[in-house]
Amino acid sequence: MLSDTVLKALNHQVNEEMYSWYAYTAMANHFDHVALKGFAAWMRTQAQEELGHANRLMDYIRDRGCAIDLQAIKAPPSAWDSPLAAIEAAYKHECHISKCINDLANLASKEGDQTTHTFLHWFINEQIEEEALVDDVVQQLRYVQDSPSGLFMMDRDIAASRPAGGETAA
């Protein structure tokens, strides 16, 4: 069993991960709308991973004999001024998620719940990759920002840079 405090925090993190899915789906839709199909595909892969994160948390809550408490998912934005603005927003969001996971791991320790603390190691490691991956795209977009041909080439290449469905953290 989980303490009420840890259970509430884990349920809240499910909502954070579902919001990540929602936000990245909105970005994928936006990229599709502005005919950046490569970015749309890349962002859909990212969104799928977020569902995986939410499911991993829900499996854990269930395995510990506790109830999952799904809350409403807030609405994300539906448009961004530029590809750079969208991916910068994604990077900022990943930094927010890293802080959420760290706070959650600290809470589990404070509650003496080493099982949950150990479970969260996967997420701590995953966030290293998540931040780095999105930051790379931010930097590349800064290089090509005023170059339509650069953006076109980047859109062509980015979908292939990340095959659908893969979570890579151990």
Query: What residues make contact with ligand OFO under the rule CB under 6 A?
Result: 17, 20, 50, 53, 94, 97, 130
Q: How far is CA 119 from the centre of its chain?
A: 18
Nearer to ligand OFO, 29 or 98 (CB): 98
What is the Cβ-side half-sphere exposure of residue 55, based on CA atoms within 13 angstroms? 8
**How many C-beta neighbours within 10 Å does residue 3 have?**
15
Kindly state the smallest distance separating residue 123's Cβ from ligand OFO, in Å. 7
Kindly state the smallest distance separating residue 42's Cβ from ligand OFO, in Å. 13
Kindly state the smallest distance separating residue 27's Cβ from ligand OFO, in Å. 12
Nearer to ligand OFO, 16 or 155 (CB): 16
Nearer to ligand OFO, 84 or 100 (CB): 100
Of all helices (H) and strands (E), which one includes residue 9? Answer: helix 4-33
Q: Name residue, tokens 């790379």.
A: 136
Residue nearest to ligand OFO (CB): 20
Kindly state the smallest distance separating residue 82's Cβ from ligand OFO, in Å. 21
In angstroms, the CA 57 to CA 135 distance is: 25
Nearer to ligand OFO, 113 or 130 (CB): 130
Nearer to ligand OFO, 23 or 40 (CB): 23
Closest CA to 94 of 11, 10, 17: 17
Q: Name residue, tokens 């469905």.
A: 165
Kindly state the smallest distance separating residue 24's Cβ from ligand OFO, in Å. 8
User: What DSSP letter does each residue of 86-111 carry, written as one string?
Assistant: HHHHHHHHHHHHHHHHHHHHHHHHHT
